Amino acid sequence: MNVEKIPATEGRFNLQNYDETYANFDWAEVEKQFTWYETGKVNMAYEAIDRHLLTDKKDKPALLYSDLTREETYTYAQLSELSNKFGNVLRKLGIQKGDRVFVFMPRTPELYVSVLGTIKVGAIVGPLFEAFMEAAVRDRLSDSEAVAIVTVPSLLSRIPVDELPALKHVILVGGADEQKEGVTSFEAAMAEASSELEIEWVDREDGMILHYTSGSTGKPKGVLHVHNVMIQHLQTGKWVLDFQDDDIYWCTADPGWVTGTAYGIFSPWLNGVTNVVRGGRFTPEDWYKTIEKYKVTVWYSAPTAFRMLMGAGDEVVKKFDLSSLRHVLSVGEPLNPEVVYWGLRVFNHRIHDNWWMTETGGQLISNFRSMPIKPGSMGKPIPGVHAAIIDNQGNELPANRMGNLAIRVGWPAMMRKIWNNPAKYEEYFHIPGWYVSGDSAYKDEEGYFWFQGRIDDVINTSGERVGPFEVESKLVEHPAVAEAGVIGKPDPLRGEIIKAFISLRSGYEPSEALMEDIRKFVKEGLAAHAAPREIEFRDKLPKTRSGKIMRRVLKAWELGLPTGDLSTMED
Ligand code: WT7
């Protein structure tokens, strides 16, 4: 594409000789930097936190936390001690290596301590976004057979303990008075626990974190990552986030999603930088104030947030001193060129787009500081990774031809398993030698990648992946709904919004009130972000002869496009 390039800027770590590094890079060079390189035994939490206690980073702030009621600082030494304690709390409950322990709570220091402590005893941590309602919580806990969950009193009613036979322990943060069997008070247990812990040394291929993500059909998929991801998290922290020792870094993503763990926990702490966490809801003023107050230098956010900030206007920006910023990045959905130009104008910074997925575990394609940016492009592959556009047979396509965005198998952070679902896992690798992302894209003659869309029906709304099937299943539970088909409808602010086409059971008539009731039903039954913003009632939905809702036809109707091949459609 012929767009004006925004010139490179001076980085500090720098990926100055991109072509040379790209051609010669060997991941073993990164592995050697870890203490486990010799022993072969490893633990992510040790490498991210405890290792720094042997250096002058011991008393350096690791976590700067604030929300409406709390404002706290934790050094590396303090996080080490607290996570040791939590590890002992889990051990005392009988939690062992490989057990699944979920965290289901708002972004607070206790969440971070729980994640680290869980990993320290070799258990697998499962982060759950706090907006999930009962059905979503049940599906994920039961699929993974979680044995323990850390949560807060306000979310307790969404955990259907009786329906989860494997779940033995609920650890409650801030609910000391809830005296029930199987319920442990976080505070009481922490007060008793020793701050000395024997870390569980595991194999680099042992499970560490289980992130549930949405696909187009069926239940959410549990994507398992192993301790080995640290190699990529350490290195992309340098190449992509440009980390240096004195950086104050703010990743705005919630740890319920992969960005909020990989780049909101592991990458910054592996690199020993100071990590800012802001709890509570988004407002433009709050966000700018956070940058001003902590003198944030590296800021990692998402297109939907940048668009909301843009919508709040340039005047708001001028009220704050944002001069500490030196590097701004975005991930999760396409970053519109107009947002990049806006960023240049108001922050005097390029916003660096990058691409990856829950399944890829770490960043794979990026606009590096040391390269010119073409607004609208996701950038180029990181060294050590071969990304390509391939056809359905696995042939690499020439420049500017649209096809499957695929990665040659074998980068360090690649998922190792879809929990309980080997067939699903295999689907990603159905073209031999390749991981097929499900995104379509093209590569221009200079090697920049351009995102075109999802090939499957997954909806990306405000940077969050929502599976149409999960929403449809919830919709048809509503007494008025006979059938439902759900699609993503392009939206200037949210990227896509969820639109539901619904046919009603006999005896029900379309109305505004019914629409509102259905919306509320999904909000309360599944999650607020999964509720359809738009609902359209139809007498009949387009289906295949085998009874599958044809979402592509719904989408074509919605966009006024040709419906394509209808040979499989029922009469
Ligand atoms: C899907 C993955 C991994 C970060 C958070 C999302 C879309 C991601 C970009 C980008 C266009 C993007 C893709 C991808 N996506 N980054 N820079 N430009 N689209 O993780 O929830 O697993 O979603 O998000 O469609 O497949 P996720």
Confidence band, pLDDT 50/70/90 cuts, at residue 40: confident
Do 481 and 383 lie in one domain? The reply is: no
Determine, yes or no, domain membership for 437.
no
Determine, yes or no, domain membership for 447.
no
pLDDT digits (tens, 9 = 90+) for 186-212: 999 999 999 999 999 999 999 999 999
Determine, yes or no, domain membership for 484.
yes
**Domain containing 93 — which CATH number?**
3.40.50.12780
Q: Residue for token digits 């075109």?
A: 452
pLDDT at 17: 87
Closest CA to 251 of 427, 175, 259: 259
Q: Residue for token digits 């072969």?
A: 40
State whether the beta carbon of 263 lies less than 6 angstroms from ligand 1: no
* Coil/strand/helix, residue 339: helix
pLDDT at 272: 98
Distance 257 CA to ligand 1 centre (A): 11
Q: Is the pLDDT of residue 558 over 70?
A: yes
Considering 335, 355, 387, which residue would you say is the last residue of a domain? 387
Residue identifier of the C-alpha nearest atom 21 of ligand 1: 465
**Domain containing 530 — which CATH number?**
3.30.300.30
State whether the beta carbon of 417 lies less than 6 angstroms from ligand 1: no
pLDDT digits (tens, 9 = 90+) for 540-549: 899 876 667 8
Give the rounded percent of residues in the chain with a pLDDT score beyond 90.
Answer: 82
Determine, yes or no, domain membership for 67.
yes
Do 84 and 210 lie in one domain? The reply is: yes
pLDDT digits (tens, 9 = 90+) for 82-139: 999 999 999 999 999 999 999 999 999 999 999 999 999 999 999 999 999 999 999 9
Determine, yes or no, domain membership for 482.
yes
Confidence band, pLDDT 50/70/90 cuts, at residue 181: confident
Determine, yes or no, domain membership for 369.
yes
CB atoms within 10 A of CB 546: 7
Do 468 and 380 lie in one domain? The reply is: no
Do 369 and 487 lie in one domain? The reply is: no
Q: Is the pLDDT of residue 410 over 60?
A: yes
pLDDT digits (tens, 9 = 90+) for 411-440: 999 999 999 999 999 999 999 999 999 999
Determine, yes or no, domain membership for 434.
no
Distance 4 CA to ligand 1 centre (A): 24
Residue identifier of the C-alpha nearest atom 2 of ligand 1: 357
Domain that holds residue 273: 1-387
Considering 387, 406, 441, which residue would you say is the last residue of a domain? 387
Residue identifier of the C-alpha nearest atom 8 of ligand 1: 332
State whether the beta carbon of 465 lies less than 6 angstroms from ligand 1: yes
Considering 341, 357, 387, which residue would you say is the last residue of a domain? 387
State whether the beta carbon of 331 lies less than 6 angstroms from ligand 1: yes
Do 79 and 222 lie in one domain? The reply is: yes
Cβ-contact 107, 277 below 8 angstroms = yes
List the single range of 183-187, 429-433, 503-507 with lowest mean pLDDT.
Answer: 503-507
Distance 146 CA to ligand 1 centre (A): 27
Do 340 and 230 lie in one domain? The reply is: yes
Determine, yes or no, domain membership for 54.
yes
Indicate the top mutation candidate among 214, 331, 418 to test ligand 1's pocket, ranked by most ligand atoms within 8 A of CB: 331
Q: What's the mean pLDDT in 461-479?
A: 88
Query: 311-322 as b/e, with b when 16 or more CB fall inside 10 Å?
Result: eeeeeebeebeb
Q: Is the pLDDT of residue 517 over 70?
A: yes
Do 363 and 497 lie in one domain? The reply is: no
User: Which value does ipTM take for this structure?
Assistant: 0.99
Q: What's the mean pLDDT in 499-526?
A: 95
Do 159 and 61 lie in one domain? The reply is: yes
Distance 463 CA to ligand 1 centre (A): 7
Say which residues have a Cβ less than 8 Å from residue 498's Cβ, sequence separation at least 6: 459, 461, 466, 471, 486, 487, 488, 489, 530, 531, 532, 533, 534
State whether the beta carbon of 451 lies less than 6 angstroms from ligand 1: yes
Number of domains making up the chain: 2
Put the strands of the sheet holding 449-454 in their side by side order: 387-390, 403-408, 434-443, 449-454
Do 371 and 476 lie in one domain? The reply is: no
pLDDT at 571: 64
Residue identifier of the C-alpha nearest atom 7 of ligand 1: 333
Atom of ligand 1 nearest to the CA of 360: 3
Confidence band, pLDDT 50/70/90 cuts, at residue 215: confident
